[in-house]
Amino acid sequence: MFKTDVLIIGAGAAGLFCAGIAKQKGLNVIVIDHASKLAEKVRISGGGRSNFTNIDIDPQQPSKHFISENPRFCTSALSRYSAQDFVQWMRAKHVPFHEKHKGQLFCDRSSEDLIQALLLECDAGASGAHVQIMPSCKLEHLNHHDQATPYYEALTDQGRIQSQAVVVATGGLSIPQIGASDLGYRLAKQFGIRVTPTRPALVPLVFEPQAWSSFASLSGVSLPVLIEIGQGKKKTSFEEDLLFTHRGLSGPAALQISSYWHEEQALNINLLPHLDLGAFLLALKQQSKKLLLNELSTQLPNRLAQTWSHLNPEWLKSMPDLSNKSIQHITQSLQNWELRPQTTEGYKKAEVTAGGVDTRDLSQQTMQSKQAGLYFIGEVVDITGWLGGYNFQWAWSSAFACANGLASQLNKL
Ligand SMILES: Cc1cc2nc3c(=O)[nH]c(=O)nc-3n(C[C@H](O)[C@H](O)[C@H](O)COP(=O)(O)OP(=O)(O)OC[C@H]3O[C@@H](n4cnc5c(N)ncnc54)[C@H](O)[C@@H]3O)c2cc1C
């Protein structure tokens, strides 16, 4: 039987960071994970270099970069532990990093540096407390004993663990191949905490095979686009690279918009976002004798222009032969291309899970749930960041808030 102040379930980004900070506040921590390798998602993130934060995060405008039934929930944690705070932490740990673009910070060498820094944090400090990490440890039951001094008892395949508090840091459902599970949501429900519906997010989009047959051969083609979803005040748009795949669309543009997409919704894509295409073609009609296909091949990837020309015979006309109406139609088709995905590639390919533990049942200051002593942090919570380091920052910020909450609950402040 093990006894500890805090049991953390999940040795991923949020769980390990929380363990290290809690230890420095004098708390003894046990971290269990059913996977044999720790922090696998950190390892594969950012193409193996972890895009570990984004310095453009504005905690006062959370709905700019975070999706949730209540985006304002993350303001407190993101303000009290900001991207700049994590940057300082990385510097203190001597992890070299660089900015790629749009405020995205990546490790220079490998995600392994970040994992080692997280593990070092669990070892460091002179608080007298310690962190014990137990990989390949399966939780069978979690019970709460409501006595004069209440405590939690976890039954695991490596023995019983008694703790005063439990932190659920089990992440989302994406990439089950490396250990994702629904345990966090099940624990929430067991203790009467609400869970909002979950869905794959930051995920490639898939089209009905027949409808996509003309575009399947474009697999591998990539171009910068403007992609939009929704109308009026609910419109969301991204200017990013779009990648064609055998089954649909991927690349940052499709991944970002997928987090906002719901079944049957249409997307609009502008394949030439920086060109006044109508005016450009009308001018060429006067000046050029070339085929429309040849003119548009200078603006679009060649394979894309070829495919479009197979769909519309007008593309094989020379510029002077195009009617104004035809130019209008071509402009519309390239700059307001309406597409209706059939589905997504699902949790197998999703980077994150949208939805999760309902923020109405959590404290935004401490991440403690309405069940005393039970906390939820990281991706298991209904907070989903954009692509670009936002999800890791949520993991760090919520973990930090939680560690402070634990210290306060267990009188270590
Ligand atoms: C391919 C890919 C690339 C990504 N790249 C980035 C990026 O560059 N930047 C970014 O900000 N975000 C990125 N993300 C998202 C980011 O990895 C997650 O949002 C982040 O890891 C969430 O942290 P977490 O601690 O909540 O969950 P995780 O890091 O997923 O950790 C959860 C832990 O809980 C454990 N666990 C699960 N179920 C159980 C159970 N039943 N029993 C015990 N333990 C359990 C898991 O094994 C895991 O170790 C990426 C995700 C993927 C899939």
Domain boundaries, the chain: 2-200+353-409, 205-344
Q: Are 22 and 6 in contact (CB under 8 A)?
A: yes
What is the pTM (predicted TM-score) of this model? 0.96
Ligand 1: distance of its center to the CA of 19 in Å?
16
Span 26-48, average pLDDT: 97
Rounded to whole angstroms, how far apart are CA atoms 375 and 205?
A: 33
Residue nearest to atom 10 of ligand 1 (CA): 389
Residues 6+ apart with CB under 8 A from 85: 396, 400
Ligand 1: distance of its center to the CA of 181 in Å?
10
Q: What six digits make up the tokens of 207?
A: 């089209």
pLDDT band of residue 412 (cuts 50, 70, 90) is low
Which one, of 86, 90, 82, 83, lies nearest residue 108 by Cα? 90
Amino acid, single-letter form, for residue 395: A
Higher model confidence: residue 351 or residue 233?
351
Span 345-373, average pLDDT: 98
- Helix spans in 103-148 (H): 111-123
pLDDT at position 124, please?
76
Residue nearest to atom 44 of ligand 1 (CA): 33
Taking all residues of the chain, what is their mean pLDDT, rounded to a whole number? 96
Mutate to test the pocket of ligand 1, among 43, 45, 67, 402 (most ligand atoms within 8 A of CB): 45
Q: Which residues form the pocket of ligand 1, taking CB atoms under 6 Å from any ligand atom?
A: 9-15, 32-35, 41-42, 44-46, 50-51, 139, 169-171, 174-175, 179-181, 183, 351-352, 378-380, 389-392, 395
| Residues 278-306: b if buried by 16+ CB within 10 A, e if exposed | eebbbebbeeeeebbbebbbebbbeebbb
Q: Could you give the angle at the alpha carbon of 172 between the alpha carbons of 169 and 176, nearest 5°? A: 115
> Quick check: 148 pLDDT over 90?
no
Rounded to whole angstroms, how far apart are CA atoms 209 and 136?
A: 41
CATH number for the domain formed by residue range(s) 2-200+353-409: 3.50.50.60
323: left (phi over 0), alpha (psi -120 to 50) or beta: beta
CATH of 205-344, picked from 2.40.30.10, 2.40.50.140, 3.40.50.80, 3.40.50.150, is 2.40.30.10
Span 95-105, average pLDDT: 96
> What is the share, in percent, of the chain residues with pLDDT greater than 90?
95
Span 293-319, average pLDDT: 96
> Quick check: 127 pLDDT over 90?
no
pLDDT band of residue 217 (cuts 50, 70, 90) is very high
